[in-house]
Structure 1
Amino acid sequence: MSFTRSKIFIACTLASSLLITACSNSNNDEKKQGTLTASAPATGQASNISERNAQQRLINTLQQHFKKANINAKVLDIKATEVPNLYWVNLEGMSSVYATADGKYIIQGDVLRLGDSKIHNVSENLQSAANKKLLASLKTEDLLVYKAQGKTKHIVYVFTDASCPYCHKLHEHMSEINAKGIEVRYIAWPRGEQFMPAMESVWCSEDRQAAFNQAIAGAPLAPATCKNPVRAQYQLGLNMGVNGTPAIYNQEGVYLGGYLSPEELAERLNN
């Protein structure tokens, strides 16, 4: 037996009152047509549908409130947190925020759980999962890659800007970082429009590493133009909540920190 999305909700709700444990679909043709099927307990399926509906209502409410307040923000994703009636909201080009279930309040910053030996950031897993997808979408040829020496133990993504002093400091230790088996993948993230041309020149150079080394050293860089990913990478950083450089992430999308010494970076990757 098969049901459309609306019918299965009603059927499962009725079934739960009769202690029927599951709704199922054995018609493969209708599965291909996008009908909703369930093999889980009816109450669980109804709960999942209810949660999705609640999330969509919250997205709509937030977008309406943003529009009324003249806030130019677009909701990319929304997920329930472990805190009752509090949702994590991923915004395009902005740091993620929290929103109450009714959409009346948004909270900027971190929500921390106490009670254990370590403080737990409620959104860390949610944000890192979103970051992982974004980082995985990058093409290696669009990055500036410094490969590990010997066996590659770790890969890190670093949002960088040739004009950033702490990026200079990190880059000075590149050989030490690579010697620890860490591959570094630089992502262009000019900290302002005035720094965009220099980063585009680096990315458009025939020898990207040599050009970046030259820019980091403060030497004049010959202007170069081409079709490049610099602005797209800058936008990706905004979507991940990057607000400064360097910003270091592991392959799982977890933010490791800003400037880190080779020893500190290796320690965080190994923990």
Structure 2
Amino acid sequence: MRYLLILFLMLISCSKTLQDQQSLIINLEKVIPEELSITSFIKSDLESFYEVELSDGTLFYYSNDGEHLFLGDLFRIEKDNLLNLSYAREKEKVLSVLSDLDKNSAIKFPPQDKKYEVFIFTDVDCGYCRKFHSQIQSYLDLGIEVNYLSFPREGLNSETAKKLVTAWCSDDKQVAITELKNGKELPFQNCDSNPIEEHYNLARRIGITGTPTIITKAGISIPGLMEANELMEYLK
């Protein structure tokens, strides 16, 4: 009888926790932008706070009384070291995106002797994307395979998005994306298999807003242009 009572009390406690959590989610949905949704709502390592993730990749912490939230990194002190829990969580998200990615959908530039690989969210109009591509041989010479993923910064209905569709639907994707990054105008091409929207949504899941953004196999996200020798430090 005693064990049944304990079990009953545990069930009541769990039910109340779920109800409280649902109330917090409902209240939070009232204040976040309408175009966003809550994709994750879990207990965090910080007592009395939940970890919340939005559909655009934003990560923040929300108090269990529903009155406070903060954006920023959460650290845990371990002996003489600081462990960045938020950074570890971000890496998990990036690795999740990589696992969901159809790697055959990338435009691949393989080196002669492959030692590493990176995935780069790019468009064809941004200056730093063009600069990266103009020196792509320096990455290939170090054995870094470059896999381009599309990310039209101005949205899926932009002119840049149409150019990216053309690149991915061309018979020779390497030549097409090179010509577009060099400023050449190409006739619009479309195909049922173009992955532009898929890539765009994957990028938004991890909060990417600009190009180029370099993703390593270890789950490190590097925004902006990085020279080949510098990038090697993240790959070794």
Q: Secondary structure at the match of 1:149?
A: coil
The answer to whether the aligner puts 1:181 opposite 2:146 as a matched pair is no
Which aligned pairs between 1:233-244 and structure 2 lie closer than 5 A? Answer: 233-244=199-210
Give the match for residue 10 of structure 1: 7
- Higher relative CO (Cα under 8 Å, sequence separation at least 6) belongs to 2
Q: Distance in 2 between matches of 1:143 and 1:261?
A: 21
8 Å Cα contact 2:41-2:53 kept in structure 1: yes
Opposite residue 268 of structure 1, the aligned amino acid is Y
Opposite residue 149 of structure 1, the aligned amino acid is Q
Alpha-carbon distance, 1:180 to partner: 1.1
Give the match for residue 266 of structure 1: 232
Give the match for residue 107 of structure 1: 70
Alpha-carbon distance, 1:79 to partner: 4.2
Alpha-carbon distance, 1:190 to partner: 0.4
Alpha-carbon distance, 1:158 to partner: 0.9
Q: Distance in 1 between matches of 2:209 and 2:19?
A: 28
8 Å Cα contact 1:55-1:79 kept in structure 2: no
Give the match for residue 190 of structure 2: 225
Give the match for residue 104 of structure 2: 141
Aligned residue pairs, count: 226
Alpha-carbon distance, 1:198 to partner: 0.9
Deviations 1:208-234 (A, max 9, x none): 111100010001121101121101211
Opposite residue 154 of structure 1, the aligned amino acid is Y
Q: Secondary structure at the match of 2:62?
A: strand
| Residues 65, 119 of structure 1: alpha-carbon distance in 2 compared, 3 angstrom cutoff | same
8 Å Cα contact 1:93-1:236 kept in structure 2: no
Q: Distance in 1 between matches of 2:180 and 2:150?
A: 13
Q: Secondary structure at the match of 2:146?
A: strand
**What is the TM-score when the length of structure 1 is the normalising length?**
0.72
Alpha-carbon distance, 1:173 to partner: 2.0
Which aligned pairs between 1:149-188 and structure 2 lie closer than 5 A? Answer: 149-150=112-113, 152-188=114-150
Give the match for residue 179 of structure 2: 214
Deviations 1:237-266 (A, max 9, x none): 111110111111111322133210001101
Which aligned pairs between 1:33-182 and structure 2 lie closer than 5 A? Answer: 57-58=20-21, 60-69=22-31, 71-72=33-34, 73-111=36-74, 121-150=84-113, 152-182=114-144
Alpha-carbon distance, 1:69 to partner: 2.9
Between Structure 1 and Structure 2, which shows a larger proportion of strand residues? 2
Gap runs ≥5 in structure 1:
1-6, 14-45
Opposite residue 238 of structure 1, the aligned amino acid is R
Q: Distance in 1 between matches of 2:71 and 2:144?
A: 33
8 Å Cα contact 1:157-1:184 kept in structure 2: yes
Q: Secondary structure at the match of 1:145?
A: strand
8 Å Cα contact 1:149-1:181 kept in structure 2: yes
Alpha-carbon distance, 1:134 to partner: 1.3
- Residue identity over aligned pairs, in percent, reads 26
Deviations 1:147-205 (A, max 9, x none): 2331x322211110111111111112211112212112111000113221111111111
- In terms of mean alpha carbon deviation, does 188-197 or 108-117 score higher? 108-117
The answer to whether the aligner puts 1:254 opposite 2:220 as a matched pair is yes
Q: Distance in 1 between matches of 2:208 and 2:120?
A: 11
Q: Secondary structure at the match of 2:98?
A: helix
8 Å Cα contact 2:124-2:164 kept in structure 1: yes
Opposite residue 38 of structure 2, the aligned amino acid is V
Deviations 1:96-125 (A, max 9, x none): 222223343332343456899987543111
Q: Distance in 2 between matches of 1:55 and 1:251?
A: 36
